[in-house]
Amino acid sequence: MSDTATTPTNATFDQFGLHADILKAIAEQGYTTPTPIQAEAIPVVLGGRDVMGAAQTGTGKTASFSLPIIQRLLPLANTSASPARHPVRALILTPTRELADQVAANVQSYAKHTALRSAVVFGGVDMNPQSAELRRGVEILIATPGRLLDHVQQKTANLGQVQILVLDEADRMLDMGFLPDLQRILNLLPSERQTLLFSATFSPEIKKLASTYLRNPQTIEVARSNSTATNVTQIVYEVAEGDKTGAVVQLIRERSLKQVIVFCNSKIGASRLARQLERDGVVATAIHGDRTQSERMQALDAFKRGEIEALVATDVAARGLDIAELPAVINFDLPFNAEDYVHRIGRTGRAGASGDALSLFSPNERKQLADIEKLIKRPLDVQRLTVDVPVRHHHDERGSRRDRDDRGSRRRTTGAHERTSHGSHHRQQPVDDFFFKPYEPSPSAATRREEAPAAPQKPASKQPLAALLGGFGMPRKTTSSN
């Protein structure tokens, strides 16, 4: 097991015997050295063996399976216009639409100098363009389970010639209640195939899934990036529940945060907080399962471009997002599942950059805090935050940029932190321990189902959200910025 997940290895991409067209694409991506998961997984996948990989998003795991898949399918690449010459040969399943889109963008860029075709299908958007693309034929299909089954039912996707299956973030798929869908999909695949299962963690459920569907898999474990972990400063701020919105505004202003993900436990809470932040002059939007796919993609793209300061997200929506150099995350609520805390703080301090994980803690969240401390096996640094920012109410006008800046500088001088007696005071202590510990699933892992059709959400306040969502005036990108 490698001690860090993204530190360069001694390996080179040349040594794997990858085709020149793939090496060219890798070089164009700016990759010079394989990450540890790539160094370990690429030869095994090339050799045709099943893999059980323990690696999270952010470790380079997408390339670790995509590059050898492309290499293995290359002999079948062709430029024929006949759809029959382009059956689905590799299927990559992901739990969320955002992850599917990111993986698809990666696959597309790695395969761009080859004749292999790839496509992505996920729910929440019109099926017709996806159907048209599938009918033309694609060799590599990236999909979320629910929408894939819709296509199977409509006979736009045929899985009878799949040779390679990837289950990406398998733990999350199970957490989200996708097991029945997964089983239906697996039953549609040829039994003679290569199966690659990637999961951040190996819970008993994951092991069971693997023992049922994988054949003599090679286990590959790569620690979550040690450098990421050591570079994340974690602080818990004790505040009254009613002061949390003001606390978020204050932290954003005091720390001059230009790009922060704020995590909420509920979709309604996320929407409400985004609106409140907007009223208080923070450019914010919410991203969660009840937003349409195009709203989610617009919000994410705008956030990546730096046009949105605060992306207010639920855990499911944020899972797997690869946003480079995110300086901070804020937990508006402490998560009910302690492991979500680790996923959340993993959004910052990526790729060796430093980051702050700031959590708001109100007295009714003692149990969540205790669960997190138990999971990461150390007490967290708890400080009291004096919130001096009154939250604007509905009738307040939206602050002008100047007004915002003025308030920001005032807060910088008046915000007061003071330590409480709770916990220890190892502010700089890294969280490495967690990343070396075997996964223990939360018994309460909710059966959240991002794919379930959600009732259209009425924007409670038209003005700020409409400005954000309608105001971008940009088409949905088909590729992420990775």
Q: Which chain residues interact with ligand AMP by CB under 6 A?
A: 31, 33-35, 38, 57-63, 322, 482
Q: For residue 290, give the 3-state DSSP assignment.
A: coil
Residues 6+ apart with CB under 8 A from 432: 226, 229, 230
- Two tokens, residue 142: 């990236």
- The 8-class DSSP code of residue 14 comes to G
The least CB distance from residue 382 to ligand AMP, in Å, is 32
Question: What is the radius of gyration, based on Cα positions, of the chain?
Answer: 23
According to DSSP, the β-strands at 310-313 and 140-143 are unpaired
Angle at 333 between CA 331 and CA 334, to 5 degrees: 80
Q: Which is nearer to ligand AMP, 60 or 145 (CB)?
A: 60
- Chain centroid, CA 357 distance in Å: 16
52: burial class by Cβ within 10 Å (0-12, 13-18, 19+)? buried
The least CB distance from residue 26 to ligand AMP, in Å, is 8
According to DSSP, the β-strands at 416-419 and 382-386 are antiparallel
Q: Which is nearer to ligand AMP, 61 or 267 (CB)?
A: 61
Q: Which is nearer to ligand AMP, 133 or 221 (CB)?
A: 221
The least CB distance from residue 347 to ligand AMP, in Å, is 12
The least CB distance from residue 34 to ligand AMP, in Å, is 5
Q: For residue 262, give the 3-state DSSP assignment.
A: strand
CA–CA gap between residue 166 and residue 25 (Å, rounded) = 21
The least CB distance from residue 5 to ligand AMP, in Å, is 9
Task: Yes or no: say if 78 and 100 are a contact pair by the CB < 8 Å rule.
Answer: no
- Two tokens, residue 432: 């490495």
The least CB distance from residue 310 to ligand AMP, in Å, is 22
The least CB distance from residue 63 to ligand AMP, in Å, is 5
Q: Which is nearer to ligand AMP, 107 or 312 (CB)?
A: 107
Question: Phi then psi for 149, rounded to 5 degrees?
Answer: -65, -35
Cβ burial 373-394 (10 Å sphere, 16+ → b, else e): bebbebbbbbbebebebebbee
Task: Yes or no: say if 139 and 90 are a contact pair by the CB < 8 Å rule.
Answer: yes
- Which of 77, 436, 76, 445 is closest to 221 using CA atoms? 436
The least CB distance from residue 54 to ligand AMP, in Å, is 13
Q: Which is nearer to ligand AMP, 355 or 415 (CB)?
A: 355
The least CB distance from residue 179 to ligand AMP, in Å, is 24
Q: Which is nearer to ligand AMP, 59 or 265 (CB)?
A: 59
Q: Which is nearer to ligand AMP, 169 or 295 (CB)?
A: 169
Q: For residue 376, give the 3-state DSSP assignment.
A: helix
Q: Which is nearer to ligand AMP, 32 or 161 (CB)?
A: 32
Q: Which is nearer to ligand AMP, 52 or 382 (CB)?
A: 52
